[in-house]
């Protein structure tokens, strides 16, 4: 009679857990992870504008917080403290569950820095090659604190409005009519054009030139691609770090 034999699985043969870096690079960041990673930008901006730094043009959230606090600085700071406490609690909870590691901040900042450094060169190459024009966008801001606050506000609020809400919402609405791919392309184009237009309207808007408009529309496309492939946090930090670079130029 043939004897059957069974092979016991060696516990050491089980796949080793992936490092935080590999987990980070494994795909697009989910919404909760993005919210955790992007919160420092939000906090820097929200505290920074108390010192008189300019409020971002599409920052509707701060206006709501100010109204909620009845235009009282103390109430506003209390609201910020509550948000900070909630953030800390969520961070601790996610870490205990093993669904988030603070070590993700390092790779995310490195990745966003690379995108921020190459974005301008890519856009200028495209504009010079296909349109034969170059924009004059660089406006120096002397105060480094102003640079940080303005950049943090742009990275958080503009990506929230134009990529998460506008592009994401429009793509969701159009998907049932024309399919996911076409809906996403239209949403990308519309959100990028509106992103550029927003920089030329209002009392602090830049004077309109064709080259500046095209540059910012292409920047919107770049941020949209980063958002779609890597998530909100990477897009927001890329935007913020790019603005730090541009605004720091003399």
Tens-place pLDDT, residues 232-242 = 999 999 999 99
Average pLDDT over residues 86-90: 85
Average pLDDT over residues 117-135: 93
Confidence of residue 48 (pLDDT cuts 50, 70, 90): confident
**Measured distance CA(138)–CA(214) in Å, rounded:** 15
Say yes or no to pLDDT of 111 above 90. Answer: yes
**Measured distance CA(226)–CA(167) in Å, rounded:** 13
Average pLDDT over residues 23-46: 84
The mean predicted confidence, pLDDT, of the chain is 83
Confidence of residue 71 (pLDDT cuts 50, 70, 90): low
Average pLDDT over residues 80-104: 80
Mean pLDDT highest for which of 68-72, 201-205, 230-234?
A: 230-234
User: What per-residue confidence (pLDDT) applies to 133?
Assistant: 87
Confidence of residue 1 (pLDDT cuts 50, 70, 90): very low
Average pLDDT over residues 188-199: 95
Task: Kindly write down the DSSP assignment for every residue of 156-211, as one continuous string.
Answer: IIIIIIIIIIIIHHHHHHHHHHH-HHHHHHHHHHHHHHHHHHHTTSSTTPPPP-HH
Going by the DSSP 8-state scheme, the letter that residue 155 receives in this structure is I
Average pLDDT over residues 40-55: 81
User: What per-residue confidence (pLDDT) applies to 121?
Assistant: 94
Confidence of residue 73 (pLDDT cuts 50, 70, 90): confident
3-state secondary structure of 93: helix
User: What per-residue confidence (pLDDT) applies to 24?
Assistant: 67
Confidence of residue 9 (pLDDT cuts 50, 70, 90): very low
Say yes or no to pLDDT of 109 above 60. Answer: yes
Cβ atoms of residues 158 and 195 within 8 Å: yes
Mean pLDDT highest for which of 85-89, 94-98, 102-106, 159-163?
A: 159-163
* For the chain, domain boundaries: 29-247
């Amino acid at each position: 009679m043939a004897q059957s034999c069974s092979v016991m699985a060696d516990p050491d043969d089980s796949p080793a857990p992936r490092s935080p870096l590999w987990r980070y690079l494994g795909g697009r960041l989910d919404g909760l992870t993005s919210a955790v990673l992007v919160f420092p930008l939000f906090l820097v901006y929200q505290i920074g504008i108390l010192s008189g730094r300019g409020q971002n043009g599409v920052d509707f959230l701060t206006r709501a917080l100010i109204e909620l606090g009845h235009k009282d600085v103390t109430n506003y700071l209390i609201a910020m403290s509550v948000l900070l406490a909630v953030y800390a609690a969520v961070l601790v909870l996610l870490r205990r569950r093993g669904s988030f590691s603070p070590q993700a901040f390092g790779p995310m900042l490195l990745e966003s820095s690379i995108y921020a450094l190459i974005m301008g060169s890519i856009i200028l190459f495209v504009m010079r090659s296909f349109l034969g024009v170059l924009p004059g966008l660089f406006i120096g801001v002397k105060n480094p604190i102003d640079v940080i606050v303005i950049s943090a506000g742009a990275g958080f609020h503009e990506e929230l409005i134009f990529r998460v809400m506008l592009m994401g919402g429009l793509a969701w609405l159009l998907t049932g009519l024309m399919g996911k791919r076409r809906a996403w392309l239209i949403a990308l184009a519309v959100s990028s054009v509106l992103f550029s237009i927003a920089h030329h309207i209002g009392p602090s808007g830049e004077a309109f030139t064709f080259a500046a408009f095209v540059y910012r529309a292409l920047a919107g496309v770049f941020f949209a691609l980063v958002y779609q492939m890597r998530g909100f946090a990477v897009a927001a930090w890329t935007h913020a770090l790019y603005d730090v670079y541009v605004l720091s130029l003399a």
